[in-house]
Each structure stands twice: as structure tokens, then as C-alpha cells.
């Protein structure tokens, strides 16, 4: 496809800053990267989503390798989530292919889905412990087949949400797993969620690539900045109060979601049409 904009160091800096936040809190990748690309850089919403999805696939793969080496992945949970997310991702991308990628409907759909995803992500960040304390024991007492079904359903919801907005695989997924699997150690919940995000974001990202909504130059710049950012953020995580960071992140997401919900997308010169890749 035709590149939307030429490479700029600002994308690498944005990737670095958000990568640091992800490293320190474990969340904030898609929930910040996509809005930043749309609101700060004026990137077309579809391109912002598609590019961020492939970036997430790369970074989540690296994270999965680490968690796999440390044996902090429950592959049973990953399979259940993927059984719901991958088919629903394919269905969602297929549905999006019938829309005009440059049209108002597509832009409004992504903006609405992104706003909802950001509000839910912020709520998950703030109320995760309260939700777990209230519902984890009750849900955890369900029969194994019921929990398996609920996990597949959660995966399906994430598949739709992530395919449209690129947001949801982190905080929302972890919160759902905490409630569904209260006896699972936190490290295995996080590791399982990251491992599941790999096929989810990869399938969704490839789908957006076929739709023509991926900018490879921006993708390269984001990865160039985000990888060292995540490494530094992970190192600094034990030195920064996580609760305060999560609260700041949650407030930021709410503000961004409100801005998106009112459709305040900048008209800037960078918002241009994108060409669909021939199937």
C-alpha cells in the first residue's frame, strides 16, 4: 500500500514513551498508541488500528517468549481464549471489508469502539481488585465446562473489540482472567493473556493489512522505539508506585475516550485516504 506519511523520529519517541509505560504497568499499549496516532499525529483511524495491531503482535511475541521460558503461561487458558477470539476476529475483519476504509462510517465505527474500549479499560484498571474480590470466588466455583465456555466467550468479545479498536487484550483480558481463574497465580494470568494476544493481534493485524490499513514505515518506527522503552520500563517497574501509575493511566484513558466520543479528531494534513490492498 502507499505509505501515509514519511518516517519521522517522533513516532519512535512515542513508541519509546508508551513502551516504558507498558513495561512499568503491564498495560497501555494499544489503549494509548492508537489514540496517540489518531489524535496527536492525525493518522487515519483505520491505519492507526492496523499498524498498532501488528506492532502489538511483535512486542507480545517477545513477551510470550520470556513468559514461555519462565513457564508462566497456562496454554489451556490460551487455547480457550483463542477458540473464541480468532474466529470472531476473522468474522469482524470480513465485516469491515464491506465498508469503505476511507468512509465516514468506518471512522465513526472505530472512534466509537475505541471510546468504549478505553472506558472499559480504565474501569478495569481502577476496579480490578474490587471486581476480583466480589466475583472471583463465585465464578471460580462454577463447573469447569462452564468456566471454559465463559473463557471462549471472553475471547470472542476481545476478538471483536481488538479487531476494531486494537484495545482490550491487556487490562480487560487480565481482569476477566482474574475473575475466571482466581486460583491461577498472577504471573500465569499475565503470561497467558500476553500469549493469547499474539494470535489475536497477528490475525487482526494481517486482516487490516489486506484491508490496506497498515503503514509499514510507522510500524518500523514504533517498534524501534517501543522495544527499548519496554526494556527500560520493565527495569524501572519495581522503583515506581504501580498503583499511582495505573490511576494516572486510567484518568488519561478516560480523557482520551471523552475526546474520541465527541468525535474531536484533528483534521490535520496527515489524515489522508488510504488505498486498499488487492485481495
DSSP states of 226-251 as a string? HHHHHHHHHHHGGGS-HHHHHHHHHH
Q: Is the pLDDT of residue 254 over 90?
A: no
CA quadruple 18, 22, 25, 30: dihedral, nearest 10: 90
Residue 276 C-alpha cell reads as: 486498499
Length of the chain as a residue count: 279
| Confidence (pLDDT) at 245 | 66
How many H helices and E strands in the chain?
A: 10, 0
Q: Is the pLDDT of residue 57 over 80?
A: yes
Query: Taking all residues of the chain, what is their mean pLDDT, rounded to a whole number?
Result: 82
Rounded CA separation 259/257 (Å): 5
User: Model confidence over 117-128: pLDDT tens digits?
Assistant: 888 888 887 887
Rounded CA separation 15/271 (Å): 20
Within 8 A by CB and 6+ apart from 61, the residues are 198
**Residue that is written with C-alpha cell 479498536 in the block:** 165
Please list the alpha-helical segments (H only) found in 97-215. Answer: 104-140, 144-165, 171-180, 186-211
Rounded CA separation 266/87 (Å): 34
> Which one is predicted more confidently, 156 or 17?
156
Rounded CA separation 15/36 (Å): 10
277 pLDDT tier (thresholds 50, 70, 90): very low
Among 52-56, 158-162, 214-218, 273-277, which stretch is predicted with the lowest mean pLDDT? 273-277
- CB-CB neighbours of 114 under 10 Å: 28
Rounded CA separation 204/12 (Å): 23
Residue 161 C-alpha cell reads as: 473489540
pLDDT cut 90: percent of the chain above it: 30
**Residue that is written with C-alpha cell 513457564 in the block:** 71
**Residue that is written with C-alpha cell 517497574 in the block:** 237
Rounded CA separation 190/84 (Å): 18
Among 53-57, 65-69, 118-122, 199-203, which stretch is predicted with the lowest mean pLDDT? 65-69
Within 8 A by CB and 6+ apart from 221, the residues are 7, 8, 9, 11, 12, 15
Amino acid at each position: 500500500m502507499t505509505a501515509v506519511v514519511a518516517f519521522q523520529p517522533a513516532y519512535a519517541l512515542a513508541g519509546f514513551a508508551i513502551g516504558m509505560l507498558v513495561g512499568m504497568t503491564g498495560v497501555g499499549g494499544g489503549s494509548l498508541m492508537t489514540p496517540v496516532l489518531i489524535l496527536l499525529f492525525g493518522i487515519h483511524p483505520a491505519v492507526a488500528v492496523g499498524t498498532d495491531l501488528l506492532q502489538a503482535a511483535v512486542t507480545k511475541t517477545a513477551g510470550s517468549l520470556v513468559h514461555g521460558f519462565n513457564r508462566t503461561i497456562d496454554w489451556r487458558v490460551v487455547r480457550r481464549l483463542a477458540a473464541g477470539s480468532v474466529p470472531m476476529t476473522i468474522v469482524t475483519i470480513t465485516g469491515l471489508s464491506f465498508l469503505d476504509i476511507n468512509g465516514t462510517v468506518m471512522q465513526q465505527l472505530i472512534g466509537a469502539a475505541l471510546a468504549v474500549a478505553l472506558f472499559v479499560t480504565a474501569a478495569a484498571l481502577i476496579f480490578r481488585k474490587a471486581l476480583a474480590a466480589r466475583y472471583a470466588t463465585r465464578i471460580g466455583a462454577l463447573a469447569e465446562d462452564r468456566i471454559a465456555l465463559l473463557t471462549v466467550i471472553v475471547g470472542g468479545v476481545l476478538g471483536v473489540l481488538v479487531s476494531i479498536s486494537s484495545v482490550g487484550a491487556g487490562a480487560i483480558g487480565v481482569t476477566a482472567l482474574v475473575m475466571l481463574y482466581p486460583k491461577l497465580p498472577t504471573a500465569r494470568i499475565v503470561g497467558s493473556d500476553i500469549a493469547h494476544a499474539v494470535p489475536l493481534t497477528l490475525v487482526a493485524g494481517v486482516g487490516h493489512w489486506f484491508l490496506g490499513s497498515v503503514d509499514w514505515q510507522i510500524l518500523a518506527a514504533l517498534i524501534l522505539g517501543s522495544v527499548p522503552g519496554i526494556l527500560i520500563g520493565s527495569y524501572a517497574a519495581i522503583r515506581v508506585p504501580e498503583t499511582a501509575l495505573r490511576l494516572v493511566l486510567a484518568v488519561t484513558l478516560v480523557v482520551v475516550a471523552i475526546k474520541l466520543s465527541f468525535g474531536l479528531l484533528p483534521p490535520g494534513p496527515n489524515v489522508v485516504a488510504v488505498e486498499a490492498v488487492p485481495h
